[in-house]
Amino acid sequence: MSGAEKLTAKILGEAESFAEQVISGARQQAEAILTQARQEADNRRKQLLEQAQKQAEERKRRARTIAELEARKALLAAKKEMIEETFARALERLQQLEPAEYRKVIASMLLAAAETGTEEIIVAAADRDRLTDSFLREGNRELAKRGKQGKLKFAAETRDIQGGFILRTRDAEINSSFPALLRMQREQLEPDVAAILFA
């Protein structure tokens, strides 16, 4: 082999060796890039799975919370309805008292409500039969014993009230109807009623 051929073979050998090194380095670099890409993809997949699980758990928690709130709302509505029914029954019972018991309750209320003893008593038309003139005379006698004038009288008019009465003075009307009294006492009575109903 001539010197030129040897030189050419040497150059070609070095070029091949260099090319193999470059290709080998490129393969290693490609494999490293591919391994890193796989690892990043795997990490991203895990991260996305964790996020999806967290979101699913959060949705479940929210759904459970909403369900619990709805259940509490329904329970509260049922309790409120039972309390309403209880007060409605109390009103019914007051309206359905025996005549003697009814007069006794009304007399007690009148004696407590009359300030001067000269007021007018407005009642429901249905109570005109239960609250007679003798009932009024007895009430006036009791007022006189207590130092008041004892001149209560029934008003000519009646009102659409569900038991009890309205006491009219020159300046004002005092609503002592059973529904008005129950409304006024309700705030105080409701916790006791609830305790009895739901204990």
DSSP assignment of 73-101: HHHHHHHHHHHHHHHHHHHHHHHT--HHH
Confidence (pLDDT) at 1: 63
The model's confidence at residue 145, banded by pLDDT at 50, 70 and 90, is very high
Q: pLDDT band for position 165 (50/70/90)?
A: very high
pLDDT > 90 fraction of the chain, expressed in percent and rounded? 43
pLDDT of 1-47, one tens digit each? Answer: 677 777 777 777 777 777 788 778 878 887 888 888 889 888 888 99
- For 69-118, the pLDDT digits (tens) are 998 898 888 888 888 888 888 889 988 989 999 999 999 999 999 989 99
Match domain 98-198 to its CATH number in 3.30.2320.30, 3.30.413.10, 1.10.10.10, 3.40.50.12780. 3.30.2320.30
- Report d(CA 10, CA 19) in Å as an integer: 14
Q: Tell me the DSSP string of 116-135.
A: SS--EEE--GGGTTTS-HHH
Quote the DSSP letter at residue 12.
H
> Which of 45-49, 56-60, 195-199 shows the lowest mean pLDDT across its residues?
195-199
99-113 and 133-145 are packed helices; what angle lies between their axes, rounded to 10 degrees?
A: 40
What is the arithmetic mean of pLDDT over 117-125?
93
The token duo for 15 is: 């070029």
Closest to 135 (Cα-Cα) out of 102, 170, 91, 173 = 102
Domain ranges of the chain: 1-96, 98-198
Instruction: Provide the pLDDT for residue 188.
Output: 80
